[in-house]
């Protein structure tokens, strides 16, 4: 497997031109093992152009929350158990009719053609190989219909509601017809945060790459930077007027389950229940919006308490190890998303990289479950955490 991934990494790096600057591996690359997410991250940094790397890895402001997303995971201790029969580990679950072999899901992330020439088509192949549910982004560079035709695993769709509600309704209809099983509405981004690293590097969409789902709004919406003009805060592709009444409107015009992505507080969690949504995703947008908000693992218990089991809570932010997945599940999450990790894999080794990163985390989760005496997801609770 390691040899296959390393060889694929060489091919991907060559194909990635001009967005990549060559293979990061040594001359003995076919023997380089990729055994952790960090291995893929280090390789991706050397493959990608600096401005693309800054877009992928950067956070908002001074990147304090970005650091907290990892550091707060590291502070949590788990309680091992011994002499438990763990000869069979079952990680299966069902979410809104989707049968999923593992609670590790692929988060919505934009612009996959920045990381591989085939973009989301290659991600679809990787998600299919790992049999992992994937949420396709509104800011994808390949249309949902093409992605759906290539993907054999479950697909959801992430929606940025546009000011043109008629266009938004048509996009939701396209998503339904393409076979997506749920709608994930991003609610934490009326405006973008101050992404200093992006600004310093001058990142912008390269020629030939566009937000294909926004073509109906005109060429600027499809190809211009998602960042507003200098000193402005409002973006043409983000609706700052989005409010709870629009969630009611979405519920009235789609049969799909609706999840709200970007909930951090108990107040918003309680209001989401009152709004009748089907689920929420605890997320701080990868620490890319408001710096110094809590890490997602720090915010999760407050949200879980407010929800009180009335609907499923999913988790997004900072996951790099199977033990991180275990900790999020122990705090009450039903499933966990990864974002940057599978993009590291996509950048380095295409579909095989996406699949390999996902399988690494799936394997690490099963190991962590076995060593804490848990054989199925329903047994993972706060008693697993060291006080």
Catalytic site positions? 285
d(CA 30, CA 44): 16
Instruction: Identify which of 125, 369, 262, 213 has the alpha carbon closest to the alpha carbon of residue 134.
Output: 125
For residue 239, the number of C-alpha atoms closer than 13 Å in the C-beta half-sphere is: 17
Alpha-carbon torsion (50, 56, 59, 60), positive or negative = positive
| Contacting residues for 46 by C-beta, under 8 A, at least 6 apart | 21, 22, 24
Q: How many residues does the chain have?
A: 387
φ, ψ of residue 31 to 5 degrees: the values are -110, 5
d(CA 192, CA 314): 23
d(CA 336, CA 324): 9
- β-strand pairing of 313-316 with 134-136: unpaired
* CA separation, residue 233 to residues 167, 192, 216, 263 (Å): 23, 7, 23, 21
Query: In this structure, what token pair is assigned to residue 154?
Result: 């479950």
Instruction: Identify which of 14, 30, 32, 31 has the alpha carbon closest to the alpha carbon of residue 22.
Output: 14
Q: Is 251 exposed, middle or buried (0-12, 13-18, 19+ CB in 10 A)?
A: middle
List the beta strands (DSSP E) in 26-97: 93-95
Q: Report which DSSP code applies to 333.
A: -
């Amino acid at each position: 497997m390691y040899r296959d991934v390393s060889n694929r990494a060489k091919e991907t790096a060559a194909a990635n031109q001009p967005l990549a600057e060559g293979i990061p591996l040594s001359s003995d690359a076919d023997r380089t093992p990729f055994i952790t997410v960090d291995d893929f991250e280090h390789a991706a940094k050397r493959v990608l152009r600096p401005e693309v790397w800054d877009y992928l890895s950067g956070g908002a402001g001074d990147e304090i929350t970005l650091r907290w997303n990892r550091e707060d995971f590291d502070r949590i201790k788990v309680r091992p158990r011994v002499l438990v029969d763990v000869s069979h580990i079952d990680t299966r679950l069902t979410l809104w009719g989707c049968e999923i072999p593992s609670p590790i899901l692929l988060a919505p992330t934009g612009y996959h053609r920045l990381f591989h020439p085939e973009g989301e088509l290659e991600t679809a192949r990787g998600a299919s190989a790992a049999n992992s549910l994937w949420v396709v982004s509104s800011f994808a560079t390949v249309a949902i219909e093409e992605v759906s035709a290539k993907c054999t695993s479950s697909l959801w769709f992430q929606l940025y509601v546009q000011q043109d509600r008629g266009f938004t309704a048509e996009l939701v209809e396209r998503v339904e017809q393409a076979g997506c099983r749920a709608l994930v509405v991003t609610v934490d981004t009326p405006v973008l945060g101050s992404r200093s690293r992006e600004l310093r590097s001058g990142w912008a969409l390269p020629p030939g790459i566009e937000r294909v789902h926004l073509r109906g709004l005109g060429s600027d919406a499809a190809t211009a930077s998602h960042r507003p003009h200098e000193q402005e805060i409002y973006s043409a592709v983000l609706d700052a007027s989005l409010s709870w009444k629009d969630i009611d409107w979405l519920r009235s015009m789609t049969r799909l389950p609706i999840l709200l992505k970007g909930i951090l507080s108990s107040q918003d969690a309680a209001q989401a229940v009152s709004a009748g949504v089907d689920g929420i995703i605890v997320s701080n947008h990868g620490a890319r919006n408001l710096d110094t908000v809590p890490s997602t693992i720090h915010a999760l218990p407050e949200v879980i308490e407010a929800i009180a089991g009335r609907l499923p809570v999913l988790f997004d932010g900072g996951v790099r190890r199977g033990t991180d997945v275990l900790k999020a599940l122990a705090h009450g999450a039903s499933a966990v998303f990864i974002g940057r990790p599978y993009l590291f894999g996509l950048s380095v080794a295409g579909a095989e990289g996406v699949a390999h990163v996902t399988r690494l985390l799936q394997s690490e989760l099963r190991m962590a479950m076995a060593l804490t005496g848990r054989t199925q997801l329903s047994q993972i609770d706060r008693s697993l955490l060291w006080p």
